[in-house]
Amino acid sequence: MAIQHPYLMFLGDAPDQLAAKTANGVAQWRRDWCLGQLRLEGCKADLKLPNMTLEEAAEKGVKTLVIGVANRGGRIAPHWQDTILRALDLGMDVASGLHNKVAALPAVAQKAKDLGRNLFDVRHPAQDFDVGSGAPRTGKRLLTVGTDCSVGKMFTSLALEKEMRARGWKADFRATGQTGIFIAGSGVSVDAVISDFISGATEWLSPANDEDHWDLIEGQGSLFHASFAGVSMGLLHGAQADALVMCHEPGRPHMRGLPHYKLPDIADCIALTERCARLTNPNAKVIGFACNTSALSEEEMKRTLGELSDTYGMPAVDPVRTGVAAIVDRLA
């Protein structure tokens, strides 16, 4: 999978900004790839990109129409189809992160075939994977892990890539979710991979590389989340990570979506994550914390990060408010 940019971000008739969170993530990290946005009547989301018609986008060289909005059930609304068909007519590929496949729409699939256009359903891997082997491979890898899901693993991975590249290091973000795939232009949505093949898919995503090259692998879920621990384990084994960064949201009252599960103890998270990761890399180690402190004041943030750092003897940062330089320093 290689999604061509520049993109036109399709927001449809998103009822609010949250409904366009996929498009928001792409516009934040790859704004130079996003030439404009297409909003239908009633759309309440806005990426602060130029509003464009499909014809204007084609004139400016857009390669892919990206469906960057999510609705209830993850379905392509019937009234979006005319827009998708017109984009294909104008020479664009179409990419979607929804559960409902754009390639499953008969009229769209036929037109794409007739015109030689590509349809990308990034939640649904198009290739087959082998089972994981656990065989050592060259290169360096860092995997973001978490005390819970939705604690900033993608953002942290991208921030680390940006900091490393600014220092002149060889570094690549490896996407494992739909938003990350749009940002990277390629990747594997591992939550859609059959469980036996998750570690193999991760090995495929992050293959052998130069000894001084870092892959920043986007983590998913948490070993302590009853719903998603299986994906987290497969990623840990397949990543064969040299370094792990523990992502955390201080003050979160319970595991996301599971009010009957409290957040795990930090020390337990470190111990179990390292123990599981060392099946395929005996030297795997948590080397820092990346925290989402958006709900904390400046003073509370400094105190919380300081306590984590003092207690566990490793840097604790907020990728948005403090940056991730202190973590990258540990890898130098």
Q: What is the pLDDT of residue 2?
A: 87
158 lies in the same domain as 84? no
The model's pLDDT over 267-290, given as tens digits with 9 standing for 90+, comes to 999 999 999 999 999 999 999 999
112 lies in the same domain as 145? no
Classify residue 307: in a domain, yes or no. Answer: yes
Classify residue 132: in a domain, yes or no. Answer: no
Classify residue 126: in a domain, yes or no. Answer: no
280 lies in the same domain as 235? yes
Q: Stretch 211-221: mean pLDDT, rounded?
A: 97
Q: How confident is the model at residue 6 (pLDDT cuts 50, 70, 90)?
A: very high
Contacts of 138 (CB under 8 A, 6+ apart): 208, 209, 210, 211
Distance separating alpha carbons of residues 66 and 143, to the nearest angstrom: 27
Q: How many domains does the chain have?
A: 2
Domain that holds residue 35: 7-121
Q: Which long-range contacts (CB under 8 A, 24 or more apart) does 323-327 make?
A: 323/159, 323/163, 324/156, 324/159, 324/160, 324/163, 324/290, 325/163, 326/288, 327/160, 327/245, 327/287, 327/288, 327/290
Q: Stretch 242-256: mean pLDDT, rounded?
A: 96
Classify residue 306: in a domain, yes or no. Answer: yes
Q: What is the pLDDT of residue 153?
A: 97
**pLDDT over 80 (residue 23):** yes
Q: What is the CATH number of the domain that holds 243?
A: 3.40.50.300
The model's pLDDT over 74-85, given as tens digits with 9 standing for 90+, comes to 789 999 999 999
**pLDDT over 80 (residue 94):** yes
49 lies in the same domain as 175? no
**pLDDT over 90 (residue 260):** yes
Classify residue 130: in a domain, yes or no. Answer: no
Q: Stretch 137-161: mean pLDDT, rounded?
A: 97
Q: What is the pLDDT of residue 73?
A: 63
Contacts of 5 (CB under 8 A, 6+ apart): 30, 33, 63, 64, 185
The model's pLDDT over 295-321, given as tens digits with 9 standing for 90+, comes to 999 999 999 999 999 999 999 999 999
Q: How confident is the model at residue 127 (pLDDT cuts 50, 70, 90)?
A: confident
Give the whole-number percent of the chain exceeding pLDDT 70. 99
**pLDDT over 80 (residue 179):** yes
Q: Which two tokens stand for residue 65?
A: 């129409």
Q: What is the CATH number of the domain that holds 20?
A: 3.40.50.720
11 lies in the same domain as 103? yes
